[in-house]
């Protein structure tokens, strides 16, 4: 097998990359896999976003693509970091293909001055919270990665239990007097963008990271717009809900990602509350409002998938209160490279 870099203008190569991505996702993670469309992958490869520069690799054997690699070089706030995702078609594993693709991504990361690799794997609950005995964890450990954080993947079947959601909203209702909400589909309205960017930065700073070395993201409205551009060009859109203080400032939000016109599973992107306004159930309020708007506007979607760090007890408890059911574990791994040279 030989490894090649994917040219985003090569439709055949992008199609092969997407085919491996979907095949592996459905085989390894059938209950919670949410596929990005090929258009989104192509757009990411064409030019760097505000946060990442993406490169994809294909492993070719006898003229057929049998493995792939997805490498994201973090930019401004984490110039030492690269995210790597090797994938091998299920029937062709244990032949060294994954190792070859990972080696190509490591060379790419080193050539661009990266000293730290991170990667994510999923495994069934049968292997416990540390994934002992599972193939993806074994692969990561064998290649010098260490498990830095464990997450939990959860699934919510729709329609959600209305009585359960009503009861959740009644909790701490007295503490929310004067607070208001707004829900919409699509980009963040311009007047809300500065406050939204601040909350988005708080989300990355407040999330537990375990032993994972991950710098907080800056409050960057342009990065928010850049992400929205990629989503629009690839046929995806967010369902959003926000909570506002009595003074009118945005103090909480929750977002759910969907694919336009396709009844895929939706993906819960994030829920965050300003530290100064916690203890009022605003996270629950924003999450429920987003779920209800999703049900009204996309009755064809029957499942929402989400993921939380295992130590993030508040959000895990909130998701369970909404009705989410744990399905499997995920792990964030990292590996420090011996040396890096900047080109």
Residue 62 included in any domain: yes
Nearest to 306 by CA among 257, 240, 237: 257
Nearest to 37 by CA among 294, 230, 223: 230
193 shares its domain with 270: yes
Distance in angstroms (rounded) separating the CA atoms of residues 256 and 312: 19
Residue 340 has pLDDT above 70, yes or no: no
Q: What is the pLDDT of residues 203-245, one digit of tens each?
A: 877 777 788 887 777 889 999 999 999 899 889 999 999 999 9
pLDDT of residue 224: 94
160 shares its domain with 105: no
Report residue 149 CA to chain centroid gap: 15
Residue 151 included in any domain: no
Residue 167 included in any domain: yes
pLDDT of residue 205: 76
- Per DSSP, the three-state class of 20 is helix
Percent of the chain past pLDDT 70, that is, above it, reads 99
Angle, CA 152 vertex, CA 149 and CA 157 arms, to 5°: 160
Tokens of 242: 């926000």
- Residue pair 84/105 in contact (Cβ under 8 Å)? The answer is yes
The pairing of beta strand 250-259 with beta strand 64-74: unpaired
Residue 170 included in any domain: yes
164 shares its domain with 45: no
CB atoms within 10 A of CB 113: 14
Boundary of a domain, candidates 85, 114, 143: 114
Please provide the size of the chain in residues: 343
- Per DSSP, the three-state class of 117 is strand
Residue 340 included in any domain: no
What are the φ/ψ torsions at residue 158 (nearest 5 degrees)?
-110, 150
103 shares its domain with 169: no
Q: What share of the chain is helix, strand, coil (3-state, %, to 5)?
A: 35, 30, 30
Distance in angstroms (rounded) separating the CA atoms of residues 257 and 275: 24
101 shares its domain with 167: no
Percent of the chain past pLDDT 90, that is, above it, reads 79
CA within 13 Å, CB half, 199: 26
Residue 131 included in any domain: no
Residue 254: cis peptide before it, omega within 30 degrees of 0 = no
Boundary of a domain, candidates 114, 146, 180: 114
Boundary of a domain, candidates 81, 114, 147: 114
Element (H, E) at 13: helix 11-28
pLDDT of residue 242: 98
217 shares its domain with 276: yes
87 shares its domain with 164: no
pLDDT of residue 143: 97
pLDDT of residue 122: 92
Alpha helices (H) along 48-96: none
192 shares its domain with 46: no
pLDDT of residue 221: 94
The domain in which residue 234 lies consists of 156-328
Alpha helices (H) along 207-334: 221-233, 282-297, 313-322
Nearest to 187 by CA among 156, 216, 230: 230
93 shares its domain with 218: no
CA-based end-to-end distance of the chain: 27
Residue 293 included in any domain: yes
Average predicted confidence (pLDDT) for the chain: 93
Residue found under tokens 């779920």: 291
CB-neighbour burial class of residue 34 (10 A; exposed 0-12, middle 13-18, buried 19+): middle
223 shares its domain with 305: yes
Tokens of 181: 């909400």
Q: What is the pLDDT of residues 309-328, one digit of tens each?
A: 988 888 899 999 999 999 99
- Residue pair 335/144 in contact (Cβ under 8 Å)? The answer is yes
pTM summary value: 0.86
Q: What is the pLDDT of residues 38-68, one digit of tens each?
A: 999 999 999 888 889 999 999 999 999 999 9
- Per DSSP, the three-state class of 161 is coil
170 shares its domain with 47: no
The stretch 160-180 carries a mean pLDDT of 96
107 shares its domain with 179: no
CATH number, domain containing residue 17: 3.40.630.30
Task: Give all strands (DSSP E) within 114-244, no chain letters.
Answer: 116-124, 146-157, 180-185, 236-244
Number of domains in the chain: 2
């Amino acid at each position: 097998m030989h490894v090649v870099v994917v040219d985003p203008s090569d439709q055949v190569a992008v199609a092969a990359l997407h085919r491996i991505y979907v095949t592996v996702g459905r085989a390894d993670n059938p209950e919670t896999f949410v596929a990005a469309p090929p258009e989104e992958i192509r757009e990411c490869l064409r030019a760097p976003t505000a946060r990442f520069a993406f490169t994809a690799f294909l492993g070719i054997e006898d003229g057929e693509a049998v493995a792939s690699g997805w490498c994201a070089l973090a930019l401004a706030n984490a110039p030492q970091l690269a995210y790597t995702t090797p994938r091998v078609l299920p029937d062709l594993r244990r032949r060294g293909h994954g190792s070859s693709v990972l080696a190509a991504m490591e060379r790419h990361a080193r050539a661009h001055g990266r000293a730290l690799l991170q990667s994510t794997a999923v495994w069934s609950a049968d292997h416990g919270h540390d994934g002992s005995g599972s193939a993806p964890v074994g692969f990561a450990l064998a290649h010098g990665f260490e498990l830095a954080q464990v997450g939990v993947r959860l699934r919510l079947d729709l329609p959600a239990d209305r009585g359960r959601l009503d009861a959740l909203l009644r909790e701490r209702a007295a503490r929310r007097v004067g607070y208001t909400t707004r829900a919409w589909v699509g980009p963040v309205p311009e007047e809300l963008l500065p406050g939204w960017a601040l909350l988005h930065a708080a989300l990355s700073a407040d999330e537990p990271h375990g032993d994972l070395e991950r710098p907080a993201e800056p409050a960057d409205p342009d990065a928010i717009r850049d992400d929205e551009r990629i989503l629009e060009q690839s046929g995806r859109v967010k369902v959003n809900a926000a909570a506002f203080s009595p003074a009118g400032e945005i103090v909480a939000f929750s977002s759910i990602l969907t694919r336009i016109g396709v009844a895929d599973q939706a993906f819960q992107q994030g829920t965050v509350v300003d530290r100064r306004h916690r203890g009022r159930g605003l996270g629950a309020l924003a999450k429920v409002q987003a779920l209800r708007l999703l049900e009204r506007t996309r009755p064809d979607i029957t499942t929402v998938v989400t993921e939380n760090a295992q130590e993030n007890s508040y959000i895990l408890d909130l998701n369970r209160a909404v009705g989410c059911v744990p399905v499997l574990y995920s792990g964030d791994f990292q590996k420090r490279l011996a040396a890096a040279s900047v080109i």
